[in-house]
């Protein structure tokens, strides 16, 4: 048997697997959810991992590093206090689809964005386990204003509207065909397309004004985090291999094609990863292939925005 709680300052969950795994991880996790997830927080509960069973600590941020999509989906649904039927109705799915996802029978994550919206959790966390469950969610953004916060009215503007002193224009990068019908493209700065950013926002993200650019993400490879047509802010001051933070998003020039991917450094080169990995598997390139295919990092993604549809 496991020793009793040595610190006596919180609950310790003791669980052993008898008979070489007679109790499966799914059964154990479900039992823990029923007994502990819905109970009040337990101060300084310890985390133990026995066999394949993940025993989560409570009274602190939940450990999601080893959670699979099905586990994150269950956690999101319970956070929203919905049963499978209620979640399915609100997300426009069937109860069977939700059940299959939670049991791991279906690996599709194409519905992660709408499920995350219904449950009030981060779509990146739900789809990939990246970041915190509630960070940057609509629930946080829609929180009631704090005392002393003044809500201002919406102002319209166009290209003829004078630019305030506290804002700056950020130009777009675009693909330009070298010659009609040649099929060869280069990436150039647009003469007309631009967005307005607050200077304070760029400073807060350590982006020099002259290094701020915008690009348009195309296709479904980065769904559900980036939809087709999403606008992405790029810091072109961080464009070297030494600047790469594994797993962060970067704009890439792939022989004249604009791409937005998660980037990982490898001993032999680079790995480009999509969020929609069911349709777009990882791409590994050696340093020689990077040169041959003219792959370069345009910059680090510091912001994105898109319309819900």
Tell me, yes or no, whether 135 and 171 share the same domain: no
* pLDDT mean over 9-22: 37
Mean of all residue pLDDT scores within the chain: 76
Residue 60 domain-assigned?
yes
Tell me, yes or no, whether 289 and 248 share the same domain: yes
Domain count, the chain: 2
pLDDT of residue 108: 60
Residue 156 domain-assigned?
no
Tell me, yes or no, whether 74 and 178 share the same domain: no
Q: What is the pLDDT of residues 65-85, one digit of tens each?
A: 468 888 998 999 999 999 998
Range of the domain at 186: 167-305
DSSP secondary structure letters along the chain: -PPP-SS-SB--------TTTSS-HHHHHHHHIIIIITSPP-BT----EETTEE----SS----TT--HHHHHHHHHHHTT--HHHHHHHHT--HHHHHHHHTTS----TTHHHHHHHHTS-HHHHHH--S-SSTT-HHHHTSPPPTTPPPPPP----TTSPPPTTEEEEEEEEEEESSTT---EEEEEEEEEEEEEEHHHHHHTT--GGGEEEEE--SSTTTTTS-TT-EEEEETT--SGGG--TT-EEEEEETTEEEEEEEEEETTEEEEE-S-TTTS--EEEEHHHHHHTTEEEEEEEEEEE----
Q: What is the pLDDT of residues 80-94, one digit of tens each?
A: 999 998 888 888 788
Q: Give me the CATH number covering residue 272.
A: 2.10.109.10
Residue 1 domain-assigned?
no
Residue 134 domain-assigned?
yes
* pLDDT mean over 121-131: 85
Q: Give me the CATH number covering residue 122.
A: 1.10.260.40
pLDDT of residue 77: 92
Tell me, yes or no, whether 185 and 251 share the same domain: yes
Q: What is the pLDDT of residues 211-234, one digit of tens each?
A: 999 999 999 999 989 999 999 999
């Amino acid at each position: 048997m496991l020793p009793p709680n040595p610190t006596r300052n919180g609950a310790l969950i003791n669980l052993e697997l008898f008979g070489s795994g007679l109790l499966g991880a799914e059964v154990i996790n479900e039992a823990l959810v029923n007994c502990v997830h819905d109970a009040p927080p337990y101060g300084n509960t310890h985390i133990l991992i026995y066999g394949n069973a993940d025993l989560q600590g409570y009274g602190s941020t939940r450990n999601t590093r080893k959670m699979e999509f099905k586990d994150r989906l269950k956690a999101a649904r319970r956070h929203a206090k919905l049963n499978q039927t209620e979640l399915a109705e609100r997300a426009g799915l069937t109860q069977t689809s939700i059940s299959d996802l939670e049991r791991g029978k279906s690996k599709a994550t194409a519905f992660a964005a709408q499920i995350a919206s219904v449950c009030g959790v981060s779509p990146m966390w739900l789809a990939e386990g990246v970041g915190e469950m509630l960070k940057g969610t609509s629930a946080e953004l829609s929180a009631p204003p704090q005392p002393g916060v003044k809500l201002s009215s919406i102002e319209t503007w166009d290209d003829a509207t004078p630019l305030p002193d506290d804002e700056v224009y950020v130009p777009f990068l675009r693909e330009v065909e070298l010659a009609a019908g040649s099929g060869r493209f280069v990436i150039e700065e647009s003469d007309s397309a631009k967005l307005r950013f607050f200077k304070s926002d760029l400073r807060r993200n350590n982006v020099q004004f002259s290094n701020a650019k915008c690009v348009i993400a195309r296709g479904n490879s980065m769904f559900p985090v980036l939809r087709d047509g999403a606008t992405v802010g790029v810091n072109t001051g961080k464009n070297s291999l030494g600047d790469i933070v594994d797993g962060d998003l970067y704009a890439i020039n792939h022989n004249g094609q604009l791409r937005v991917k998660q980037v990982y450094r490898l001993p032999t080169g680079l790995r480009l990863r999509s969020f929609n990995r069911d349709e777009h598997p990882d791409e590994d390139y050696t340093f020689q292939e990077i040169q041959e295919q003219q792959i370069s990092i345009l910059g680090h993604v510091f912001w994105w925005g898109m319309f819900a549809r």
